[in-house]
Structure 1
Amino acid sequence: MTQTEPEHDPSEQTFDVVVLGAGAVGENVADRAGRRGLSVAVVESELVGGECSYWACMPSKALLRSGSVLAAARAVPGAAEAVTGGVAARAVLARRDTMAADWDDSGQVKWLDGAGIELLRGAARFTGPRRLEVRDAGTGAATTVVARHAVVVATGSEPVLPDLPGLATARPWTSREATSADRVPGSLAIIGGGVVAAEMATAYTDLGSRVTVLVRGARLLAGLEPFVGEAVTSALVDAGADLRLGVQVERVERDASGVRLHLSTGDVVVADEVLVATGRRPRTADLGLDAVGLEPGSRLEVDDRMQVTAVDGGWLYAAGDVTGRVATTHQGKYDARVAGDVVAARFSADGGGEHWGGPVEAAEPWSRYRATADHEAVPQVVFTRPEVATVGLTEDAARDAGYPVRVVRYDIGSVAGAAIAADGYQGTAAIVVDTEREVVLGATFVGPDVAEMLHSATIAVVGQVPLSRLWHAVPAYPTVSEVWLRLLEGYGL
C-alpha cells in the first residue's frame, strides 16, 4: 500500500525563529537572528516600529527640540536679537507628525521585506512550547505559528494607571496621548516625577500650556543624582510650570470645567487634560504565558544571554522592557543584538548548533553573547532643559553595591568651551570613582547639550579605563568636553 503524505495545513506556518513585537527591539532581534540563514517571522498587532517610533522617543524629542533650539539661540548675543517670538505650536506638531511618519509604518514594513523577515499581522498567544496562535485583529482569522528553534518576546511595556478614584473615567492621557496630541491644551496637569513627566512638562510649557506637575516624592527624577532633580525643577519653575513636591492625588473627576484633581493637601488642581506618568509594566498579560508555565502579566526574567530562566529547553528568549532589566530603547536594542546573536549562534548551521557548545556557552562577560552592560553601565539622556546625561552607577548605588567611592563634581560653566557655547552657561558634571581600582563607575552631566558628551563617559565606564590612562585622552580646546580634564584634576591627577 502506498503511504500518502499528510495534507499541509494552510493555517499553520513554521519558521526557525519567531519574534513577538516589531518595535525597535524586535526588529533588531530579527535582523541579527536572520543573518546566518535562519528563517525569521515577526508578529505585530500595531505599527511596525513600535512605541519608540510613534509614541515615545521620536515624537517626544521632536516636541522638545524647538524649545531647546530657541533657548540656545537666546543664550548667544547676535542670535538672541534675531529671536522675536516663542515656539510656534502648530509647526512643532506638524514636524512631530513627520518624525512619527504620520503613524504610517509602510517604511518600516519595507525594511522588514528587504531584510527577508516575514511580517505576521496580529496578536500572538502561546498555546504551548514554541507554538503560538496569531489572530488577525481585523478579520479574526487565527493562524498557528510554530518556531522550530526559538521564540523571542519583545513586546515592550505599557503605561500603568494608579488605582485612584475617578481616574479611569476621567479620560486621562498616558505618554501615547501626550506625544501624539493634535492640539495643545490650555492647561495640563501631570501626575508623576520621572522622565516622561519631566520631559512632557518641558515640552508643553514650551508649547504654551499652563503646566502643573504633581510629584508624590520629595524630588523630581529621584532615581538620579540629587543635583539633577534640583536643576530641572528650577528650570521648569523659571519657565512658568507649577511644581508641587510631596503631594498625592486622592481622587480625580472630569466635569464641564475640565479635570479636577483633589490633592492630599486639600487643594484642587483644575486642568484641561491630565497626563498620568507614574510608571510602566511589561506587556505580557495577553500572551498566554500560562501555556508555557509562566505568570501572565509578569516580567520575563532572563540571564545575560537573554534566555528566559524559568523555562526549560533553551527555546524562549526575551529582550527590552519586557524583561524589567532596561527601560530605554537604546539599551533594549543592545539586548536585542545579544539575543539575536545567541539565537543565530545556537541554531544556525554555521553556529554552535543545538548541542549547547561552541561560542555561546564558552562566552565570557563583555562578549557579544552576554548583555553585561545592563548591570552597571546603562546610559540615559533626559531631554529636559537643562539636558541630563548619565551612565553607570550613582553615588548611592555604588555605595550600596559595596564599592569604595569618591565623587568629583565640577561646574561645567567654568570651562572655556561653555563660555563659547552660551552666555551664562549653567551645568554640573560629576564622576563616581572606584578608589580601589581608580576607574569611573558612573558619570552625570546636567546642562545645555550635554547629551553629546555622554558617549565618552559610557566608553570610560564600559571600558573600565584607569584614570591614569584617561588623563591622556586630551579634550579639544575650547570645547565643553574640557570638563573631563577638570574632573580628573579634581581627583588629584
Structure 2
Amino acid sequence: MYDLVVLGAGPVGENVADRARAAGLTTAIVESELVGGECSYWACMPSKALLRPAIARSEALQVPGLRGQVAGPLDAHEVLAHRDAIVGDWQDDGQADWVKSIGADLYRGHGRLDGPRRVTVQGTEGDRHVLTARHAVAVCTGSRAALPDLPGLDGARPWTSREATSSGRVPDRLIVVGGGVVAAEMATAWQALGARVTVLVRGAGLLPRMEPFVGEHVAAALIERGADVRTGVNVAAVVRDGSSGPVTVVLDDGEQVMGDEVLFATGRRPRTEDIGLETVGLAPGGWLDVDDSLRVTGHDWLYAVGDVNHRALLTHQGKYQARIAGAAIAARAADGTGEGAGAGIGDAGPWSPYAATADHAAVPQVVFTDPEAGAVGISLAEAEAAGREVRAVDLDLTAVAGAGLYAQGYRGHVRMIVDPDSETLLGVTFVGPGTGELVHAATIAVVGQVPIARLWHAVPSYPTLSEIWLRLLEAYRDGAGRP
C-alpha cells in the first residue's frame, strides 16, 4: 500500500510524486512509455532544439557584422544530431534514476484504475502488480494528437507532433494542416531546415487563441521566407502514393496540394481511454473535471493533473498544477479527514497554495516561432466576450531604443489589457524577436495585481526591450485605449 499512486511519469506526474515524497508520503509512479513523458521526448525539448538554431540564425542575419558569417543554410545533420542528444536518444535511464532518487517506486507498464484507490499494472515483462492508495490516486497521463476523420488519412501515414519533432530527415516538401502553436512552430523549424512548407489553416489566421496581430506577424515572416500560408481552407481527403511516395492533400474545392510529408496539427485529446475510469463511475476517453485543488469532481481521492483536465495544455502549467495538487494531497493526508478542514483547503481562496488560480487568470505561454510571441492573462477578445470593461494599450516595439540595437529592421508589437477600475493588468501580449523573455515580468504584474501607480517605480534598464513597459505606462497615462 502507498499513500499516493501516480499514473504517468511525465513532468506533471514527476512533480506530483516529488511534492508528495517531500511531504513524507509513500509514493508509486506508473509509466507505460518513457519516464519523462511527451515533453521530454516528443514536444517541448525536441521542438525547441529544432527551433533554437532557426531563430538564432534569423536574428544574427539582422545584426551588422554577422550577416556574412551566417548567410548560408543551417547544417540540418548537426541540428538533428543535437536534437537527438537533447532527448537522450529516446532513452530514459536518467529520468528513471531521478524518480528513484526521490524515494518513489517506479512501475513500468500499463496502469488502470480498478475501483476506488486501487490501480493494477500490467508490467512490460508480463508481470502484474496491484497497488492500493491510502489517500489518493493522481491521473497524469497527458494528451495525444487528435486526427480528423478524413478519407485516406489512415493509409497516408501522416505526421503528428511526435513525428514532426523526431523525424531523422528533412522532407523536401512539408504540408502543415492547422494554425495553432504546433503548426506554427513546426512550419518555422522545418522551413529553416530546408523544407518547402505549405500551411493550410481552416480559420482566418495563425495562432487564433492569441491577439490577432501575433498570427499576422508570424504568417508574414513565414511567407517572406518562402512558405505558402493559406487561410480559410478545408481539407477533404489525403492520398499517399504507395508505401513511401508523395502525399496529396485534397481541399474541399477540389484543389490538390502535393508534398512529401503532411503534418496534422489539429488539436489534442486526453489519454484517458484505457485507464479504468469506468470502474469508478467516469466515462473513459474524456477530459476530467476538477476543482481548483485538482481533485476530480465527485471523487475525494482522485486527482487529474495536467493536460487531462483540459485547463491549460502547457507543460509549465501542468507542473504548476502538480505543485498545487501535491500540496493539497499532503495537507489532506495530514489532516486525516480527507477533506482538509484542518489545513483550510476547503476554504482556500484565490492565490492559496491549494488553489490553481493561475489556470483562470494568469496562464503564460511563449510560442517559439520567428518572431517569438508570448502572452499572459486574457486577450482583448476574451475580455469583451466576458463583458468586462477594459482598456487596451497598443504599441509598436520599435518605440524603444533596445529594439533597434537588438536587430536592424526590428518588427514587433505589444498590447496591454488594463482593468480601469483597479488600474491593474489583466493581460499582456508580445510578438517580436526576444519577447519570450519579457513574459515573466508581465506574469508577475498580472499575478501580483500590481497597480499601475506602483509599476512606475519598476524602472526598466536602458537600452533593453523591457523599456517597452515605460512606454506602455506613458501611453496609458496619455489616454491610449480610452473609449
Query: Is it true that 1:286 corresponds to 2:274 in the alignment?
Result: yes
Shift of 1:83: 1.8
**Alignment partners' CA distance in 2, 1:139 and 1:332:** 30
Name the residue aligned to 1:344: 330
Gaps of 5+ in 1: 1-13
Question: Could you tell me the TM-score, scaled by structure 1's length?
Answer: 0.95
**Alignment partners' CA distance in 1, 2:253 and 2:470:** 47
Say if 2:394 and 2:413, in contact at 8 Å, map to a contact too.
Answer: yes
Report the residue type matching 2:467 in the other structure.
E
Report the residue type matching 1:239 in the other structure.
R
Say if 2:234 and 2:252, in contact at 8 Å, map to a contact too.
Answer: yes
Say if 2:397 and 2:411, in contact at 8 Å, map to a contact too.
Answer: yes
Between 449-458 and 139-148, the greater mean CA deviation after superposition? 139-148
Question: Could you tell me the TM-score, scaled by structure 2's length?
Answer: 0.97
Q: Deviations over 1:74-104 (max 9, x none)?
A: 1110122222411110000001011111111
Name the residue aligned to 2:186: 200
Shift of 1:135: 0.4
Of 285, 301, 310 in structure 2, the residue corresponding to residue 297 of structure 1 is 285
Of 393, 404, 415 in structure 2, the residue corresponding to residue 419 of structure 1 is 404
Of 132, 146, 153 in structure 2, the residue corresponding to residue 160 of structure 1 is 146
1:9-408 → structure 2 map (5 Å cutoff): 14-136=1-123, 138-256=124-242, 257-311=245-299, 314-348=300-334, 354=338, 356-359=340-343, 360-408=345-393
**Alignment partners' CA distance in 2, 1:355 and 1:471:** 43
Say if 2:339 and 2:346, in contact at 8 Å, map to a contact too.
Answer: no
**Alignment partners' CA distance in 2, 1:190 and 1:182:** 18
SS at match of 1:417: helix
**Alignment partners' CA distance in 2, 1:310 and 1:347:** 18
Report the residue type matching 2:158 in the other structure.
P
**Alignment partners' CA distance in 1, 2:363 and 2:30:** 28
**Alignment partners' CA distance in 2, 1:310 and 1:198:** 38
Say if 1:35 and 1:344, in contact at 8 Å, map to a contact too.
Answer: no
Q: Deviations over 1:326-350 (max 9, x none)?
A: 11000000000000010011114xx
**Alignment partners' CA distance in 1, 2:311 and 2:289:** 8
Query: Is it true that 1:409 corresponds to 2:409 in the alignment?
Result: no
Shift of 1:266: 2.0
Say if 1:214 and 1:245, in contact at 8 Å, map to a contact too.
Answer: yes
Gaps of 5+ in 2: 479-483
**Alignment partners' CA distance in 1, 2:408 and 2:217:** 17
SS at match of 1:128: coil
SS at match of 2:114: strand
Q: Deviations over 1:272-314 (max 9, x none)?
A: 1111100001110011100000000011110001110132xx1
Say if 2:61 and 2:71, in contact at 8 Å, map to a contact too.
Answer: no
**Alignment partners' CA distance in 2, 1:72 and 1:354:** 54
**Alignment partners' CA distance in 2, 1:332 and 1:185:** 33
Say if 1:294 and 1:310, in contact at 8 Å, map to a contact too.
Answer: no
**Alignment partners' CA distance in 2, 1:64 and 1:228:** 18
SS at match of 2:200: strand
SS at match of 1:220: coil
Of 458, 473, 481 in structure 1, the residue corresponding to residue 466 of structure 2 is 481
Say if 2:350 and 2:357, in contact at 8 Å, map to a contact too.
Answer: yes
% same residue: 58
Between 438-447 and 362-371, the greater mean CA deviation after superposition? 362-371
Report the residue type matching 2:252 in the other structure.
S
Shift of 1:355: 5.8
Say if 1:125 and 1:134, in contact at 8 Å, map to a contact too.
Answer: yes
